Amino acid sequence: MQTDFAQKQAWLPMALRILILMLAGLLVFYHLTMIYEFWAGQSLSADGTYNAVQAALRLLIAGSLTIVVLGKRAGLWMMWISIGGLVATQYWAHFGGVHADFTVGRHPLSYLKGFIIPSIITAAFLMRLRITS
């Protein structure tokens, strides 16, 4: 029989799962939209290599987030590697020779906001694992 405290906390794993699903769904939709725009010819840059790397990383992000939603811990590793790579390409555009409109007038630290939602997803995922095991 569960204790009174455990019964009151029974809703938490489901709430965390819903939070993960919503945030991951938002990011998957965003990144798939950006991939569609790339294939439609609306690229972020005139550099074809840069655009192809960005599209590949966005595809990896969408795939890894799908794995996270399915509850696989390996998806977290894939998510962080691919999002880290995407942020690295944004620094490549900012400090490198890539001409991209999104770099104009941006502070170099502004690209780090790309880690906010993945951090929330990771915290919710790990908290759900800890509660349910």
**pLDDT one digit per residue (tens) for the chain, 133 residues:** 455 655 667 789 899 999 999 999 999 999 999 999 988 888 777 888 888 999 999 999 999 999 999 999 999 999 999 999 999 999 998 898 788 888 888 898 999 999 999 999 999 999 999 988 7
Domain regions of the chain by residue span: 12-132
Contacts of 87-93 with C-beta under 8 Å, sequence gap 24+, read 87/111, 87/112, 87/114, 87/115, 89/50, 89/53, 89/54, 89/57, 90/114, 92/50, 93/44, 93/45, 93/50
In angstroms, the CA 26 to CA 32 distance is: 10
Token readout for 132 is: 């349910």
What pLDDT score was predicted for residue 46? 80
Pure H helices in the chain: 4-8, 12-39, 48-69, 74-95, 116-132
What pLDDT score was predicted for residue 8? 60
What pLDDT score was predicted for residue 3? 59
What pLDDT score was predicted for residue 47? 80
What is the pTM assigned to this prediction? 0.87
Cα→Cα distances 28→18, 37, 60, 77, 84, Å: 15, 14, 10, 16, 16
With a CB cutoff of 8 Å and minimum separation 6, the contacts of 1 are none
Quick check: 99 and 45 in contact, CB under 8 A? yes
In angstroms, the CA 3 to CA 5 distance is: 5
Neighbours of 1 (CB within 10 A): 4
